[in-house]
Amino acid sequence: MTEHATVKAALMSQAIETPSWAYGNSGTRFKVFARPGVPRTPREKLDDAAKVHEFTGAAPTVALHIPWDTVDDYAALAEHARDRGLAVGAINANTFQDDAYRLGSVCHPEAAVRRKALDHLMACVDIMDATGSRDLKLWFADGTNYPGQDDIHERQDRLAEALAAVYERLGDDQRMLVEYKLFEPAFYTTDVPDWGTAYAHCLKLGPKARVVVDTGHHAPGTNIEFIVATLLREGRLGGFDFNSRFYADDDLMVGAADPFQLFRIMYEVVRGGGLTADVAFMLDQCHNIEEKIPAIIRSVMNVQEATAKALLVDRAALADAQRTGDVLEANAVLMDAYNTDVRPLLAEVREEQGLDGDPMAAYRRSGWATKTAEERVGGQQAGWGA
């Protein structure tokens, strides 16, 4: 294969998972702006996700969030997805919305609350069994607000105990993705604040436990690509929750705030051999003021553009410059790839797959927005951010 053909093949095989909650109404604690045509049920969220996949050809799985996507029959929900050319992606657990969780969930000082949280995590694995989902995504809102509020050390013990119980319950082909976040909703300590803590727990648990990097969950200025390189080297990068941020956990469209950072991350993914199904490329974002489906299509395209640029880096020339200590040349090789307009290449890739080269325009022409605005009345809130 020519180099061009290898790049195209890699782009064609890249899958980007979209989150069910991005299709629903969301907002800040100040206001949720309702939008006409927004899904009313988990099935309708899948119907919208199917549109993103139809026009991009690159979004074949959808992450669910439990209980936001609660249904009576999960196997039937998975069937609904399959009928639309989709599969159920990661199951995201939610141990942050009940009154019981005021002092935490699996790290809570009371055993009864920890049990309740653990029961929920186990129920999420049951849903994985019913839907064929591979990944359980665990983000804990646990932490403390005031020094002395609880014992930091003991909270880690409680966390380890819960994680070990869930790990035991996983099937052979199932994985656990441990997500970290520096702060919020806890303001003093967070029980899984960084990749190091997540990694330490994963290492103890075993190979089915991996770290997930939510790009919005770091302190400003954090070198995320370094974290990605390290986790890949250790074989523990489970995936990404992609989004972008200007300030804290803003959950804006991936690649919108800092496309160069996204390129640097994707370069480390390519360099580290992470462009495989082993790494889940998921979006975790919400669309508060913009149209949702087009925003998700744009996000998928942003990831594809960063990936294309990363694949175009002349690795031989880069290695040469690095070996000879030619700092300027090494940097230039990387920037050459970043500064390439890859949109024509991606249009070509889509056309070769029988798709429209411009997914945004194709979606607009489809009339889906008008149809759903007429048919769906009373769209569902994403369940979070209100």
Q: Which is nearer to ligand LRH, 179 or 268 (CB)?
A: 179
Q: Which residue has the tokens 């889940």?
A: 280
Nearest approach in angstroms of CB 299 to ligand LRH is 15
Nearest to 60 by CA among 277, 265, 345, 251: 277
Residues in binding contact with Mn ion, number by CB under 5 A:
4
Nearest approach in angstroms of CB 165 to Mn ion is 23
Q: How far is Cα 238 from Cα 281, in angstroms, rounded to an integer?
A: 9
Among 54, 241, 305, 356, binds Mn ion (CB under 5 A): 241
Nearest approach in angstroms of CB 385 to ligand LRH is 8
Q: How far is Cα 222 from Cα 229, in angstroms, rounded to an integer?
A: 14
Q: How far is Cα 224 from Cα 239, in angstroms, rounded to an integer?
A: 13
Q: Which stretch binds Mn ion (CB under 5 A): 2-10, 242-250, 314-322, 356-364?
A: 242-250
Q: Which residue has the tokens 């370094």?
A: 226
Nearest approach in angstroms of CB 217 to Mn ion is 6
Q: How far is Cα 78 from Cα 87, in angstroms, rounded to an integer?
A: 7
Question: 25 and 381 in contact (C-beta within 8 Å)?
Answer: yes
Q: Which is nearer to ligand LRH, 74 or 139 (CB)?
A: 139
Q: Which is nearer to ligand LRH, 122 or 327 (CB)?
A: 122
Residue nearest to ligand LRH (CB): 139
Nearest approach in angstroms of CB 14 to Mn ion is 20
Nearest approach in angstroms of CB 287 to ligand LRH is 13
Q: Which is nearer to ligand LRH, 150 or 214 (CB)?
A: 214
Q: Which is nearer to Mn ion, 141 or 345 (CB)?
A: 141
Q: Which is nearer to ligand LRH, 101 or 139 (CB)?
A: 139
Q: How far is Cα 186 from Cα 376, in angstroms, rounded to an integer?
A: 37
Nearest approach in angstroms of CB 115 to Mn ion is 25
Q: Which is nearer to Mn ion, 24 or 57 (CB)?
A: 24
Find residue 92's DSSP bridge partners. 65, 137
Which positions from 208 through 237 interact with Mn ion, judged by CB under 5 A?
A: 214
Which of Mn ion, ligand LRH, none interacts with 17 (beta carbon under 5 to 8 A by kind)? none
Summarize as ranges the residues that interact with ligand LRH (CB under 6 A): 92, 139, 179, 181, 214, 241, 249, 284, 384
Which of Mn ion, ligand LRH, none interacts with 92 (beta carbon under 5 to 8 A by kind)? ligand LRH
Question: 310 and 40 in contact (C-beta within 8 Å)?
Answer: no
Question: 173 and 134 in contact (C-beta within 8 Å)?
Answer: yes
Question: 26 and 287 in contact (C-beta within 8 Å)?
Answer: yes
29 φ/ψ angles, rounded to the nearest 5 degrees: -70, -5
Q: How far is Cα 189 from Cα 205, in angstroms, rounded to an integer?
A: 23
Nearest approach in angstroms of CB 141 to ligand LRH is 7
Q: How far is Cα 84 from Cα 136, in angstroms, rounded to an integer?
A: 23
Which positions from 263 through 322 interact with Mn ion, judged by CB under 5 A?
A: 284
User: Tell me, what amino acid is at 178?
Assistant: V
Examine residue 249 and tell whether it contacts Mn ion (CB under 5 A). Answer: yes
Residues 6+ apart with CB under 8 A from 266: 303, 306, 307, 309, 310
Residues near Mn ion (CB under 5 A): 214, 241, 249, 284
